[in-house]
Amino acid sequence: MGTAASTPRLICPGCGAAYGSDHRFCERCRLPLVLDAPELVVSDRHGRARKIKPQLCQGPLVAVARAGNQPEAEFVQGLLLEEGVPSLLRRSAGFDVPDFLAAGPRDVLVPQSGVDTAREALLAAEIITDAPPGAARTPPVRLLAGLLVALALGAAIVSLIYALH
């Protein structure tokens, strides 16, 4: 009873174990520890830890979705947690948004063994589509092709103007 001598400040997103600030990774899951959010009450944390299935906590972290901002990312995390998949958020690379802002896209990462379960849950919620990763690159390519056509057309018009003079 009473307050603990050293208040744990970091928790493992995988198993919910609490660590002091001298730790960086969970000794059991080897997941990077996250700051224990003040609004996260103890009973809730235990509830989260209970939901997570240990068999979905194995392997390196894999990005399964990209959320538009922090609240969206947390929504995705909650959805994954319902399926027993622990997840981590990482600021998407290449977006220079100051750290204190909740804006800017986030990558949602899950352990390798939880990827299939996570994808099923995300597909069911229509957060991701069934298209293979390569298919997502089609629109920018099309855009570039359109741009090239426009440029070629512009050049043709320019030469036509010069030809008329």
- DSSP line for 107-133: EEEEEGGGHHHHHHHHHHTTSS-SS-G
Query: Which range of residues in 18-26, 46-54, 118-126, 150-158 is near Zn ion by CB under 5 A?
Result: 18-26
What span, in angstroms and rounded, lies between the C-alpha atoms of 98 and 101?
6
- Of 15, 18, 81, 89, the one binding Zn ion (CB under 5 A) is 15
Residue nearer to Zn ion on the CB measure, 58 or 138? 58
What span, in angstroms and rounded, lies between the C-alpha atoms of 110 and 108?
7
Backbone angles phi, psi at 108, to 5 degrees: -100, 120
Strands 88-91, 10-11: pairing is unpaired
- Of 14, 84, 105, 114, the one binding Zn ion (CB under 5 A) is 14
Size of the site for Zn ion (CB under 5 A): 7
Residue nearer to Zn ion on the CB measure, 17 or 89? 17
Query: Which range of residues in 15-23, 37-45, 110-118, 147-155 is near Zn ion by CB under 5 A?
Result: 15-23
18, two tokens: 């609490």
Residue nearer to Zn ion on the CB measure, 54 or 68? 54
Q: Is 12 in the site for Zn ion (CB under 5 A)?
A: yes
Residues 23-52 that bind Zn ion (CB under 5 A): 26, 28-29
What span, in angstroms and rounded, lies between the C-alpha atoms of 42 and 40?
7
Quick one: CA dihedral 72, 78, 82, 87, positive or negative? positive
CB of 111 to Zn ion, least distance (A): 11
- Site residues (vs Zn ion, CB under 5 A): 12, 14-15, 17, 26, 28-29
